[in-house]
Amino acid sequence: MIEMLIAMLIMTVGVITTLSMISASMRANTNANRLTTKTALAQQTVEDLLSMKSDDVVALCPSTLTDYNLNMTGPVTGTANYLTVSGAGTYNAKCSATQLPALLQINISVSTVPDDGAPLQTAVYRYLE
């Protein structure tokens, strides 16, 4: 009888440990998926902005972080512009441009909606045309 109770205790501990590892793995996979999506959206935004003339970038992204249209359907309307990626969540991007001597610094911030932590931020420098 005691051997049976000890065996059940050991098995219970093993099952609980396995379930907690599965749960932690699922959370890590979700966070990795969101980070990968944020990175891809930030890269898309960088490529979009680098394809524009410097004056157009400054007009689109003033000196303070401003909503950037991830949907590519015209100017941002309302207080925010969101893009929903199937299986990865909803995202918002912001950009700003700072004029430096002979350079334009472009700052991009991509975050999930609702925010799941610190947004992914990147800065790009380009020579003025």
Reduce the DSSP state of residue 118 to 3 states and report it.
Answer: coil
Which pLDDT tens digits describe the chain residue by residue (129 residues)?
A: 889 999 999 999 999 999 999 999 998 998 888 888 888 888 888 888 888 888 888 888 888 888 888 876 655 665 567 888 888 888 888 899 988 888 888 999 998 887 777 788 888 888 765
CB-CB contact of 107 with 96 (8 Å): yes
The Cα–Cα gap between 106 and 50 comes to: 9
Residue 52 CA, chain-centre distance (Å), reads 23
